[in-house]
Amino acid sequence: MGSISVMKLGDCLFVSVPEELRDSQVRDLQETVSGRLSQDAVRGVVIDVSALSIIDSFVARVLGDTAAIARSFGARGVLVGVRPAVATTLVDLGIDLSAVETALNLERALEKLHLKVISVS
């Protein structure tokens, strides 16, 4: 069982969801994100689900609720890393993630949030 990682970079929180999101981790995920949002001024929360091989209705609800928590703190939540097979399964099961912004990858998520990562060579 993996752990939930939250890292702040500039005006953004990056949340890495483990490959299995257990019921016991849901509260930790949401408390960790809300705690960090209450401490840090951020404009966006990027939720990386690339480790998840399955997103069922429970996990979809958790992700939607986490994005809603971000909105309550004035931040936008963007989901990244949805695998093609997972996206197909979501559609087949009728699971609606329309309340959660999505992006193909981290770069596009940052574009949606109007944030830039600047590297110095």
Domains of the chain from N-terminus onward? 5-112 (3.30.750.24)
pLDDT at 73 (0 to 100)? 94
42-83 tens-digit pLDDT: 999 999 999 988 888 888 888 889 999 999 999 999 999 998
Do β-strands 76-80 and 5-9 pair in parallel, antiparallel, or remain unpaired?
unpaired
Written as six digits, the tokens of 9 are 């970079």
Q: Tens of pLDDT along 90-107?
A: 888 888 777 789 999 988
- Exposure string of 44-68, with b = 16+ CB inside 10 Å and e = fewer, is bbbbbbeebeebeeebbebbbbbbe
Distance of CA 12 to the CA centre of its chain: 11
Cα 97 from Cα 44, distance rounded (Å) = 18
Q: Is the pLDDT of residue 1 over 60?
A: no
